[in-house]
Amino acid sequence: MVKRPFRTVTSQGTEILVEPLPHVRSCSVGFWVKRGSCFELPDEEGLAHFIEHTVFKGTERYPGPQTMAEATDRLGGNVDAFTGKETACFYGKVLGEQLPALVDLLGELVTTPRFEEEELARERKVILEEISQSEDQPDDWANELFYANFWPGGTLAHPILGTRDQVAAYGADQARAFFRKTYRAPNLLIAAAGDIQIDAFLELLQPILALLPPGLEETWPTANQPKPFLLNTPRKELQQASLVMGFPAYPHQHPDRAAVNLLGYVLGGGMSSRLFMELREKHALCYQVGSYLSHYRDTGALQIAASCAPDRAQELVRRTVSECAKLRREGVTHDELERAKLQLRTSLVLNQESTSNRMFSLAHQAIHMDRLLSLDQQIQEIDRVDLDQIQRIASEILDPGAFGVSSLGTGRTTGIRSRDLVEVP
């Protein structure tokens, strides 16, 4: 019998997930805040990410960057954090014997940050450099432009990093106010996997849970409605145009989620995928091309990313549209579907061999799916997808009238035009 992960919810609403793995000697723990950039108000854009940075500048027990850095290094493993559209996460991976110290450190970050103005002033400069770095990475910036234009007016259009003007204005008052509003018991999920004893882990969490304030009634983010668009953004210094294209797809809990992931593999998931063979191998339009799925609470996107010479961007988009139309019209072959299933199954199995991936998977399922599926159940979902289902989904998803294109590095003479969004021979 497969032993399921331990799952409980405290009286204050904090969810705790633990998957003991007796055969390993490491453990991974993540403190997940279920409030990413989607939950920011217009005058708060970038604050979720600002908090993620600045809690590391000092807490009550680790009062400055030096003591925080020394405590992190003494763990012997790694500690990190990230902010996404729907969540923020503080996590670490260490040997099992260092679990108490890791939990203590992560708990400090989410309960007792100091937000001292002098440290925040320094970290603002770091975040401003991060924004500049993102703008200097064409793939990242093209993706940011895609989100801003594909979901205009929605919360997914919020830039995770915020804008320079907004970040430059944030100080201790704004940080403390956002932290007090957001870092509350019902908004926190704690996930762990590896060399862990459940009872001992729960005991370690008690002092942290006692510090979490109760929840507040909050308004859910504005619904995100996808909108087709075509955007050409000149960047003279770029040698290549970076393109992010996409179709509206499904939210996290959609029953066809596994099938649309398989469709993404067929379209651009490997060296034998439709787009790789058509754009790179047949027409030498690009070095790399790939497709990927982005799922959110109320929407999603099947996205395609590629880079090419600016004067070939028109052809790349036209051939991408044509290949998608062909797939929509003719469907997926049995061989393509079986290869995609094997790729997805393999990815799932390999992820199970890492305690950090196990922890991430637990948290993702609990937060976004509200259920925990075993590896066998996930594989069964994949194996149940048949050609009729994937054909129906291709007809639904690959609608050229819903297509969005963000092109960075194209100019007036090389830009993509609306007539490029039609099928070509």
Provide the token pair at 151: 């979901």
Residue 202: CB atoms within 10 Å: 16
In CATH, the number for domain 229-421 is 3.30.830.10
pLDDT value at residue 411:
76
Provide the token pair at 124: 């603002």
CB 27 within 8 A of CB 355: yes
Q: Quote the CA–CA distance of 21 and 5 in Å, as a whole number.
A: 10
- Nearest to 124, CA basis, from 69, 68, 170: 170
Which strands, in side-by-side order, build the sheet including 229-233?
229-233, 404-408, 241-248, 300-308, 289-295
| CA angle, 397 then 316 then 417, to 5° | 85
- The per-residue pLDDT string of the chain (425 residues; one tens digit each, 9 = 90 and over) reads 457 899 999 999 999 999 999 999 999 999 999 999 999 998 999 999 999 999 999 999 999 999 999 999 999 999 999 999 999 999 999 999 999 999 999 999 999 999 999 999 999 999 999 999 999 999 999 999 999 999 999 999 989 999 999 999 999 999 999 999 999 999 999 999 999 999 999 999 999 999 999 988 677 777 789 999 999 998 888 899 999 999 999 999 999 999 999 999 999 998 999 999 999 999 999 999 999 999 999 999 999 999 999 999 999 999 999 999 999 999 999 999 999 999 999 999 998 889 999 999 999 999 999 899 999 999 999 999 999 999 999 999 999 999 999 999 987 778 888 888 876 65
SS3 106: helix
Provide the token pair at 298: 């109320």
User: With b meaning 16 or more CB within 10 Å and e meaning fewer, what string describes 9-25?
Assistant: ebeeebbbbbbbbeebe
Q: Using CB atoms within 10 Å of the CB of residue 307, give its burial: 0 to 12 exposed, 13 to 18 middle, 19+ buried.
A: buried
Query: For 313-369, where are the alpha helices, taking DSSP H only?
Result: 313-330, 334-351, 355-364
CB 286 within 8 A of CB 280: yes
Q: What is the dihedral of CA 128, 130, 131, 132, to 10 degrees?
A: 90
Architecture of the domain spanning 6-211: 2-Layer Sandwich (3.30)
pLDDT value at residue 414:
80
Q: Name the helix (H) or strand (E) containing 248.
A: strand 241-248
Domains 6-211 and 229-421 share a fold: yes
**Cβ-Cβ contacts under 8 Å for 71 (sequence gap 6 or more):** 62, 101, 105
pLDDT value at residue 410:
87
Domain ranges within the chain, ordered by starting residue: 6-211, 229-421
- Nearest to 305, CA basis, from 135, 124, 144: 144
User: What beta strand segments (E) does 96-235 contain?
Assistant: 188-194, 229-233
User: With b meaning 16 or more CB within 10 Å and e meaning fewer, what string describes 73-103?
Assistant: eebebebebebebbbbbbbbbbbeebbebbb
Which strands, in side-by-side order, build the sheet including 15-20?
6-9, 15-20, 188-194, 26-33, 88-95, 78-83
SS3 85: coil
- Nearest to 144, CA basis, from 274, 68, 250, 45: 45
Q: Quote the CA–CA distance of 179 and 183 in Å, as a whole number.
A: 5
